C-alpha cells in the first residue's frame, strides 16, 4: 500500500478511536483547493450532523486531540487540514526510490483477466487521425489496467470483410492507372477506396458490381477472393509498420473473415433458439422490448453484417480466456450497436462484464474528418511532417549526434506529440487537432513534458544524487507542494483506471511539470549548500521517476536528452 493510502487509513482509524465509533472512512479525505492549507482535508459537515455538533467546534476539538508523527493539524472553519511533515516527505521520496518504475502500480486487479479490443480498423482503407485516437486510447487503457494488477490481453480485431473491401477492390481495378505510384500498396488502397466512394454515387451499375464482388468474396474462392487475399496482405503489412512506429503491441489478432462461417452457423443456432428471427427475408435481433430497436444480422441477400462475426468472435474470446471484463474501444457512433450486441450475448448466457469505451471525433480546424470524402489527415503524411520538423530542430542543436540517435529521438518526440494530443482530453470531448499547437514546447503538450524530463536528467547528471540526504532540509513552499503532488500519483493511476480515462494522468503530469518548472526557476539547486543540494536532488529524482512512470502509461517515451 502506498504512503498516502496508508496515511488515510491511519488517520481515519485515529479519529474513529477518539470518537468511539466507525464514523470516518479513508475516502472521506479530499485534497484542499489551496496547498497552503494542507495536503489532505476532512470536511466535517456530515460528521458534525451525525454527532449533533457544530462543525467549526468539532474541527477545533479534533485539532487538539488527534496526533500523528507524520503531519500537523489545523482547523479552518468546518475543515480539518493535515499537513505533511519532513518524516512524511522522507517516506514518500523513499517509497518512490524503492519502487522505481513500479511506483504507482496497484494490486486490486490481481487474478483478473481483462481483454481490451482496440484498433478495430477496416482493412483496405487509409489510416488517419481518427484511427490514431482509437489506438492511443486503447493502448493507454491497456497499460493503466496492467499497472492496476490486471492480466491484460490487448487485442486487435481487423474488419477485413465487408462492403468497404468490395468497394476498394472495385476502385483498384477501375482507377489503377490514376492512383499514385507508391511503393507501399497498402497506402494506395486507401486512395482507391476514396475514389471508389466518389465514383459510386448515383452509379447503380457500379453498386451492382460491388455487390457481386462482395458475394463472390464471401464464397472464399475465385478471382475476387484471390484479389481480396492479395490486397488484404498489402493492407495488413501497412498497418504493421504503423504499429511498430507507434510502439503498439497486441497479444492477439482477430479477423472478421475468420469468423464469418462460424458466425453464420451461430446465427442459425440463435434463430432456432428464438434469440434471432426472420423478417422480410433478413435475419434480425428484435430488441424492442429492451428499448434497443432492431438489429439486422443477415441481409435479405444472405450477406453478413457486423454482428455475424462479432458474436462468433465474442464466443471465441470467452472460450479462450476466463475474462473478468471485456472492453471495446470504438467511437461513439457505435454506442447503440454495442448495447444491442451485449444484450444478445447476455441472452446467450454470458455473464462477464462487457463495456463499450466510446470516444468522440477528431476534427480539423475547418470541420470533421471523413475517410469517404478524403477530407482527413492521413497518418503517414502527418507523421512525416512532424518528424521532419523535429529532426531538423535536433540537428540544429546537436550537429555532433549520430544519425541513429537523431532519428530515434525525433521519432520518440513525434510519437509523443501524436499520442498526447489524443489523450490529453477526456474521451467524451471532441478533439480539434492543430499541428502547430501540438508541437509547441510550452503549454499543454507532450513536448513540454519531455523537455522537462530532459532538464531533470541534465541537472541530475551534473551532481551525485546517490548520496543519502536529509529530507528535513526541504523547507521551501514549492518543495512541499512537489512532495504532496508526488504522493498523489498512485491515486491518480487508480482514478484513471476506475474512470477509464487516461487524460487524468495527462493532466496530472502537466501540473507536476508546471510545479517543477516553477521550482527550477525560483530555487537554486546545484549551487545550494551541500546538505540542501542533496535533499533537493533527491526530490528531483522523485519528480523524474513519477514523470517517467506517468508518460510510460500514456505510451510516451521519457527522454534523457533532447
CA angle, residues 124, 126, 129, in degrees to nearest 5: 145
- In this model, does residue 370 exceed pLDDT 70? no
What's the whole-model pTM score? Answer: 0.93
Specify the pLDDT at position 130: 85
Specify the pLDDT at position 30: 95
Task: Report residue 35 as a C-alpha cell.
Answer: 496547498
Residues paired with residue 154 on neighbouring β-strands, in sequence order: 116
Give the architecture-level CATH label for domain 385-553: Orthogonal Bundle (1.10)
Specify the pLDDT at position 102: 97
Residues composing the chain: 562
CATH of domain 118-271+302-368: 3.40.50.620
Contact present, 354 and 326 (Cβ < 8 Å): yes
Whole-number percent of the chain with pLDDT over 90 = 84
- In this model, does residue 372 exceed pLDDT 60? no
Strand order in the sheet with 277-279: 277-279, 282-286, 294-298
Please provide the average confidence, as pLDDT, over all residues in the chain.
93
Quick: pLDDT tens for 199-240.
Answer: 999 999 999 999 999 989 988 899 999 999 999 999 999 999
Give the three-state DSSP class for 464.
coil
Quick: pLDDT tens for 28-46.
Answer: 999 998 778 899 999 999 9
Domain edges within the chain: 3-84, 118-271+302-368, 385-553
Specify the pLDDT at position 389: 96
Quick: pLDDT tens for 57-103.
Answer: 999 999 999 999 999 999 999 999 999 999 999 999 999 999 999 99
Lowest mean pLDDT among 130-139, 171-180, 438-447, 552-561: 171-180
Q: Does domain 3-84 match CATH 3.30.1360.70?
A: yes
Q: What is the mean pLDDT of residues 364-388?
A: 75
Specify the pLDDT at position 377: 80
Q: Is 10 left (phi over 0), alpha (psi -120 to 50) or beta?
A: alpha
Quick: pLDDT tens for 247-272.
Answer: 999 999 999 989 999 999 999 999 99
Between 373 and 289, the higher pLDDT residue: 289
Q: What is the mean pLDDT of residues 538-545?
A: 97
Q: What is the DSSP string of 58-88?
A: HHHHHHHH---SSEEEEEETTEEEEEE-HHH
Specify the pLDDT at position 219: 87
Amino acid at each position: 500500500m502506498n504512503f498516502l493510502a496508508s496515511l488515510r487509513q491511519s488517520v481515519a482509524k485515529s479519529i474513529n478511536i477518539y470518537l468511539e465509533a466507525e464514523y470516518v472512512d479513508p475516502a472521506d479525505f479530499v485534497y484542499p483547493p489551496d496547498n497552503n492549507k494542507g495536503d489532505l482535508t476532512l470536511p466535517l459537515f456530515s460528521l458534525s450532523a451525525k454527532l449533533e455538533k457544530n462543525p467549526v467546534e468539532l474541527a477545533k476539538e479534533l485539532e487538539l486531540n488527534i496526533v500523528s508523527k507524520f503531519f500537523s493539524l489545523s482547523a479552518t472553519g468546518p475543515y480539518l487540514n493535515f499537513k505533511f511533515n519532513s518524516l512524511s516527505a522522507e517516506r514518500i521520496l523513499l517509497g518512490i526510490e524503492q519502487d522505481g518504475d513500479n511506483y504507482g502500480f496497484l494490486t486490486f486487479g490481481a487474478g483478473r483477466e481483462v481483454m481490451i479490443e482496440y484498433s478495430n480498423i477496416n482493412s483496405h482503407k487509409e489510416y488517419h487521425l481518427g484511427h490514431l485516437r482509437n489506438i492511443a486510447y486503447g493502448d493507454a487503457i491497456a497499460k493503466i489496467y496492467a499497472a492496476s494488477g490486471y492480466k491484460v490481453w490487448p487485442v486487435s480485431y481487423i474488419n477485413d470483410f465487408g462492403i468497404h473491401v468490395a468497394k476498394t477492390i472495385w476502385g483498384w481495378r477501375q482507377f489503377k492507372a490514376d492512383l499514385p505510384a507508391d511503393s507501399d500498396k497498402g497506402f494506395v488502397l486507401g486512395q482507391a477506396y476514396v475514389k471508389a466512394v466518389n465514383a459510386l454515387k448515383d452509379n447503380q451499375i457500379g453498386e451492382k458490381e460491388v455487390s457481386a464482388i462482395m458475394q463472390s468474396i464471401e464464397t472464399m474462392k475465385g478471382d475476387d477472393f484471390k484479389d481480396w487475399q492479395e490486397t488484404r496482405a498489402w493492407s495488413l503489412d501497412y498497418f504493421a509498420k504503423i504499429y511498430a512506429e507507434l510502439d503498439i503491441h497486441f497479444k492477439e489478432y482477430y479477423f472478421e473473415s475468420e469468423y464469418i462461417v462460424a458466425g453464420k452457423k451461430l446465427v442459425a443456432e440463435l434463430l432456432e433458439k428464438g434469440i434471432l428471427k426472420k423478417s422480410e427475408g433478413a435475419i434480425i435481433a428484435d430488441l424492442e422490448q429492451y428499448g434497443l430497436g432492431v438489429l439486422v444480422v443477415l441481409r435479405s441477400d444472405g450477406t453478413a453484417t457486423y454482428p455475424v462475426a462479432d458474436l462468433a468472435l465474442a464466443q471465441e474470446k470467452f472460450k479462450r480466456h476466463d475474462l473478468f471484463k471485456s472492453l471495446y474501444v470504438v467511437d461513439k457512433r457505435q454506442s447503440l450497436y454495442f448495447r444491442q450486441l451485449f444484450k444478445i450475448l447476455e441472452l446467450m448466457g454470458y455473464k462477464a462484464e462487457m463495456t463499450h469505451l466510446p470516444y468522440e471525433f477528431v476534427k480539423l480546424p475547418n470541420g470533421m474528418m471523413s475517410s469517404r470524402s478524403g477530407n482527413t489527415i492521413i497518418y503517414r503524411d502527418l507523421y512525416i511532417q512532424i518528424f521532419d520538423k523535429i529532426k531538423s530542430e535536433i540537428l540544429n542543436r546537436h550537429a555532433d549526434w549520430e544519425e541513429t540517435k537523431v532519428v530515434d529521438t525525433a521519432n520518440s518526440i513525434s510519437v509523443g506529440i501524436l499520442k498526447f494530443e489524443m489523450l490529453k482530453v477526456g474521451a467524451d470531448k471532441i478533439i480539434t487537432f492543430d499541428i502547430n499547437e501540438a508541437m509547441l514546447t510550452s503549454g499543454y503538450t507532450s513536448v513540454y513534458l519531455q523537455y522537462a524530463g530532459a532538464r531533470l536528467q541534465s541537472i541530475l547528471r551534473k551532481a551525485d544524487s546517490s548520496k543519502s540526504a536529509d529530507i528535513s532540509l526541504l523547507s521551501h513552499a514549492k518543495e512541499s507542494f512537489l512532495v504532496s503532488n508526488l504522493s498523489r500519483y498512485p491515486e491518480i493511476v487508480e482514478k484513471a483506471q476506475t474512470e477509464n480515462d487516461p487524460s487524468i494522468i495527462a493532466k496530472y503530469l502537466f501540473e507536476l511539470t508546471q510545479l517543477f518548472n516553477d521550482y527550477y526557476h525560483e530555487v537554486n539547486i546545484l549551487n545550494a549548500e551541500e546538505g540542501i543540494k542533496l535533499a533537493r536532488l533527491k526530490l528531483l529524482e522523485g519528480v523524474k521517476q513519477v514523470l517517467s512512470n506517468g508518460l510510460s502509461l500514456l505510451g510516451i517515451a521519457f527522454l534523457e536528452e533532447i
